[in-house]
Amino acid sequence: MILRKNLQGLYELDYIHKAGAGSSVDQKRRVIDNKLRSLSLFVLSGEGGLLDILEFRMRLREYDIKERYAKDELRGVLTHLREISVAEVEGVIRRFMDSREVPGLKCLLFSIQSQGDLAKETVCSAPTLLKGMTAGEVRTVRV
């Protein structure tokens, strides 16, 4: 439900940021005009202690979400206000995972473009897909 609510409100969002160092003028970050906005759902799986470390270290933006789904699973959503490549999203996840403190985690990514994508069987198959992955693997599934 939270994901659907976020996706529904996604088209109304704009980030505010400072114009530059020392500037007090707020400006809206330029977002793509055709409103090609999306979510990236991630599922991180691995040993509970490693996920504890990662969850503590993981810094997300205001509109992103993370939640501990189970002892051995952390789920979350990265919210995109502009068109973003799969490689960019994978890079963000790899930065979270690339540490000697959290070896052996697996990550499954889903690119979500609409509320209908959340209901697709592919998203529900995360546990099965994770079982077939190796430690350290990041896999993107196009819904």
The 3-state secondary structure of 72-121 reads CEEEEEEEECCCCCHHHHHHHHHHHHCCCCCCCCEEEEEEECCHHHHHCH
Per-residue confidence (pLDDT) for residue 31, from 0 to 100: 45
Per-residue confidence (pLDDT) for residue 32, from 0 to 100: 43
Residue 97: left if φ>0, alpha if ψ -120 to 50, beta else—which one? alpha
Residues of the chain where predicted confidence (pLDDT) is lower than 70: 1-37
**Tokens found for residue 118:** 């959340």
Q: Whole-angstrom Cα distance, residue 95 to residue 90?
A: 9
Per-domain residue ranges for the chain? 2-142
CATH of domain 2-142: 3.30.70
Q: What is the mean pLDDT of the chain?
A: 78
Residue 3 neighbours by CB distance under 10 Å: 17
Q: Are strands 138-142 and 106-112 parallel, antiparallel or unpaired?
A: parallel
Question: N- to C-terminal Cα distance for the chain?
Answer: 18
Asked whether the beta carbons of 93 and 27 are under 8 A apart, the reply is no
Per-residue confidence (pLDDT) for residue 129, from 0 to 100: 92
